[in-house]
A and B are shown apart, each in its own frame.
Chain A
Amino acid sequence: MTELRRRGGGDQDSAENISDKEADGDDRLAFPDEGDGEMVGDSKAETPDAPPSTDNTPQCLNKALEGLSSRWKNWWIRGILSLTMIIGFFLIIYLGPIMLIIVVMGVQIKCFHEIITIGYRVYHSYELPWFRTLSWYFLICVNYFFYGETVADYFGALVQREEPLQFLVRYHRFISFALYLAGFCMFVLSLVKKHYRLQFYMFAWTHVTLLIVVTQSHLVIQNLFEGMIWFIVPISIVICNDIMAYLFGFFFGRTPLIKLSPKKTWEGFIGGFFATVVLSFFFAYLLSQYQYFVCPVEYDSETNRFAVECEPSNLFMIQEYTLPAVVQNALRWKTVNLYPFQIHSIALSSFASLIGPFGGFFASGFKRAFKIKDFADTIPGHGGIMDRFDCQYLMATFVHVYITSFIRGPNPSKVLQQLLVLQPEQQLGIFNTLRNQLREKGLLPPAVEEAQ
Chain B
Amino acid sequence: MAELRQRGATDKELKHQHSEDKGSETEGKERDGASDSETKPEVPVSADDTPEVLNKALSGLSSRWKNWWVRGILTLAMISFFFFIIYLGPMVLMMIVLCVQIKCFQEIITIGYSVYHSYDLPWFRTLSWYFLLCVNYFFYGETVTDYFFTLVQREEPLRILSKYHRFISFALYLTGFCMFVLSLVKKHYRLQFYMFGWTHVTLLIVVTQSHLIIHNLFEGMIWFIVPISCVICNDIMAYMFGFFFGRTPLIKLSPKKTWEGFIGGFFSTIVFGILLSYVMAGYSYFVCPVEFNNDSNRFTVDCQPSELFQLQDYSLPSVLQSITGWTTVKLYPFQIHSIALSSFASIMGPFGGFFASGFKRAFKIKDFANTIPGHGGIMDRFDCQYLMATFVNVYIASFIRGPNPSKVIQQLLALRPDQQLHIFNSLKAHLTEKGLLPALEEAA
Contacts and interface: CB of A to CB of B under 8 A. Distances in A.
Contact of B398 (A173, A194, A205, A422): A173
A98 B362 CA distance: 45
Given A358-B177, A397-B170, A419 B408 contact: yes
Given A43-B35, A423-B402, A402 B167 contact: yes
Interface stretch (B1-9, B215-223, B291-299, B417-425): B417-425
A23 B194 CA distance: 18
Interface string B237-271: 00000000000000111000000000000000000
Interface in A375-402: 394, 397-398, 401-402
B424 to A, nearest CB: 5
A415 B423 contact: yes
Interface stretch (A86-94, A247-255, A403-411): A403-411
Contact of B35 (A195, A422, A434): A195
B390 interface: yes
Interface residues on A, range: 35 or more
Between B190, B358, B417, B440, the greatest number of chain A beta carbons within 10 A of the residue's beta carbon is seen for: B190
Contact of B351 (A185, A193, A199, A394): A185
Nearest to A365: B184
Interface residues on B, range: 35 or more
B361 interface: yes
B33 A409 contact: no
B14 interface: no
A26 to B, nearest CB: 5
Given A181-B348, A211-B204, A422 B408 contact: yes
Interface string B199-241: 0110010000000000000000000000000000000000000
B405 A430 contact: yes
B414 A181 contact: no
A196 B362 contact: yes
B201 A204 contact: yes
A266 to B, nearest CB: 15
A434 B197 contact: no
A348 B252 CA distance: 54
Contacts of A404: 166
Given A38-B37, A196-B358, A431-B427, A26 B187 contact: yes
A174 B395 contact: yes
Contacts of A397: 170
Contacts of A65: none
A123 to B, nearest CB: 8
A245 B351 CA distance: 51
A176 to B, nearest CB: 8
Interface string B363-396: 1000000000000000000000001001100110
Interface string B394-431: 11011100110100110111111101111110111011
Nearest to B202: A204
B405 A426 contact: yes
Given A362-B177, A421-B403, A450-B444, 4 more contacts: A124-B35, A171-B398, A397-B170, A412-B419
* Those 6 A-B pairs whose CB atoms lie nearest each other, nearest first: A196-B362, A369-B189, A450-B444, A410-B411, A174-B398, A405-B167
17 contacts: A38-B38, A39-B38, A170-B398, A181-B348, A189-B251, A196-B362, A207-B204, A260-B184, A355-B174, A369-B192, A410-B411, A419-B408, A419-B412, A426-B405, A430-B409, A434-B420, A450-B444
